[in-house]
Amino acid sequence: MTSTAVIDPPARTWSWAQRRTVIVSCLAVTLVIAAMAALYTALAQISIATGATQTQATWIVDGYTLALACLVLPAGALGDRYGRRRMMITGLVVFAAASMIPVTTTAVAWLIGARVLTGIGAALVMPSTLSMLTAAFAPGPSDRAVGLWAGAAGSGGLIGLVGSGLVLQWYSWQSIFAGMAVGAVLLAAAGFTLAESRSTGETGLDPLGTVTGVAAIALLVWALITVAERGWGDRYVLAGLIGAALAGALFVAVELRAHKPLLDLRLFARRGFGCGTVSITVQFLTTFGLFLIVVQYLQLILEYSPLRAAVAVLPMGVAVTGLSLLSPLLTARYGLRLPTAAGLTIVAAGLALMARVTPDSGYPGVLMPLFIMSVGLGLASAPATTAIMSGTDADMHSIAAAVNDAAREIGAAIGIAVAGTVLATGYRTRITPVLDRLPEPARAPVSHSLAATTQLAEHTGPQAQPLLDLARTAFLHGLHNTSYTLAAISLAAAAILGIWAPGRSATRAPKTPARPTTPPSD
């Protein structure tokens, strides 16, 4: 089988068509990732304006992530079958239309529904961006383009945080949605200038595999999102995890027997593909786990405003993007093993250093761990994505890109769940023994979180300062435990992938070459 594609000439310079593909693909994936984090800074305003409860506010944010994680695999299959450019443009139109719903209404149910619909559009966009990009280049020169894409994806969350913070300085929270809609419309228009690519061989939609796969991911992500509120022992969380395991087992059974499976599970037997998927999952697990604790530390301990906190983590994106452009050179010379093991080890070192911060550390005490961690992510990110894409035939690039994207979403959900649980447990461990000595009205907010204690102290006055200091000490205990936990996960993954990941000779699996063709008109 072959794939309709545009292959770059022997020269190292890119054609204007290739540059257009890289620019649009990188901007589109940045928009999709930025939309995941853009509401973090606005959530308080949204809750006040809409009257949303804490649970509803959580789903206004996470409904997007859930839809994206569930549908990214079938969306990749649709791209291979019907055209990747077509899916990207369709997804951007859906994304833009859904983003305009919160501009016209403040009803909570409509906001949650709009975020889910936006996630559906994002699921169509995300795998298409990477598969279109790799279809436009030959395997070797595509590494630089993949490096740019990986840097854009890695920095998207930071751009979302900073962009929404800037918007809130002058406009309402609804302007964030309007801005995302405008960006999606402009990128959809730019998408018409790109070449189409699709699988030219026979493709199947695999409805049973799609249903079981969506069910497995939906139940898993739902349970991981809910665990931060209900705890690991909650019966609904346990039911969700068990249901996810059963649906996952059924998905494997269906895919192994299907004539045209949604996802060829034999791909994971290829060391580059399997190791790249694990590496991406761990990278996003640690990154979003870190975001959860760092943003709270900056706002609650150092007393930064939402915008200042977002800007404070922005230097992390510079290192990730810069090294994502250089790391493919390391992969070409040493294979996947060295940059992956080294990158995840450096990530672990940054997280371990984060576990030593105190209120006296100030911003430099946070900046150094962030910089060290960003260096590790920059080394490991692009090689992992390159290994996933180069380990599959060109006809399956949308599915491979969807696996890459699903690994990011699932990793982020696990990271948020693990970090939230460890942070809350550490906080309660230190705060519970002193609750009986507190006045009755103060017990509930103090036991809940540092944020609630801070709000209580603002209303009570200076006499609440000792109570606030106690809550901050408990929060730091939870933060340190969380940092060590994430560091241990990253270090364990570095050790495993340092053995399992292929070296230079085995990094690229043989794949069906793409045949130069004239892009068909749509």
* Alpha carbon distances (Å) from 368 to 53, 90, 347, 371, 375: 36, 42, 12, 5, 11
Residues in the chain: 522
Domain coverage including residue 392: 264-419+482-509
Please check whether residue 457 lies inside any domain of the structure: no
Neighbours of 189 (CB within 10 A): 12
Q: Indicate if 39 and 186 belong to the same structural domain.
A: yes
Please check whether residue 424 lies inside any domain of the structure: no
Q: Indicate if 2 and 124 belong to the same structural domain.
A: yes
Distance between CA atoms of residues 158 and 164, nearest Å: 10
Q: Indicate if 230 and 377 belong to the same structural domain.
A: no
Domain boundary among 224, 245, 261: 261
Determine the residue type at 86. R
Distance between CA atoms of residues 221 and 64, nearest Å: 11
Please check whether residue 75 lies inside any domain of the structure: yes
- Cα dihedral angle (19, 23, 24, 26), rounded to 10 degrees? 130
Is residue 209 within 8 A of residue 251, CB to CB? The reply is: yes
- Residue pLDDT, tens place only, 157-199: 888 888 888 888 888 889 999 999 999 999 999 999 998 887 7
Q: Indicate if 136 and 272 belong to the same structural domain.
A: no
* Alpha carbon distances (Å) from 166 to 71, 173, 363, 512, 518: 31, 11, 20, 46, 44
Residue 4 has what pLDDT?
Answer: 46
Please check whether residue 218 lies inside any domain of the structure: yes
Q: Indicate if 151 and 239 belong to the same structural domain.
A: no
Q: Indicate if 198 and 232 belong to the same structural domain.
A: no
Residue 365 has what pLDDT?
Answer: 92
Please check whether residue 99 lies inside any domain of the structure: yes
Tens-level pLDDT at each residue, the chain (522 residues): 444 444 444 445 788 888 899 999 999 999 998 998 888 777 767 877 887 765 677 788 778 988 888 888 888 888 878 888 999 999 999 999 999 999 998 888 999 999 999 999 999 998 888 888 877 876 655 667 877 887 888 788 888 888 888 888 888 889 999 999 999 999 999 999 998 887 766 566 788 888 998 899 889 888 887 776 777 888 999 999 999 999 999 999 998 888 888 788 888 888 889 999 999 999 989 998 898 888 888 888 898 887 888 888 888 877 777 777 776 677 777 788 999 999 999 999 999 999 999 988 889 999 999 999 999 998 898 888 888 877 677 667 767 877 888 888 888 878 887 888 888 888 888 888 877 777 777 777 777 777 777 777 777 777 778 888 888 888 899 999 999 999 999 999 999 999 988 877 554 444 444 433 334 343
Q: Indicate if 389 and 356 belong to the same structural domain.
A: yes
Q: Indicate if 283 and 373 belong to the same structural domain.
A: yes
Please check whether residue 476 lies inside any domain of the structure: no
- SS3 per residue for 307-368: HHHHHHCCHHHHHHHHHHHHHHHHHHHHECHHHHHHHHHHHHHHHHHHCCCCHHHHHHHHHH
Domain boundary among 261, 280, 306: 261
CATH of the domain at 125: 1.20.1250.20
Q: Indicate if 305 and 324 belong to the same structural domain.
A: yes
Is residue 474 within 8 A of residue 427, CB to CB? The reply is: yes
Domains: count for the chain: 3
Q: Indicate if 176 and 154 belong to the same structural domain.
A: yes
- Which residue has tokens 């270090």? 491
Q: Indicate if 166 and 255 belong to the same structural domain.
A: no
Q: Indicate if 360 and 503 belong to the same structural domain.
A: yes
Is residue 399 within 8 A of residue 373, CB to CB? The reply is: no
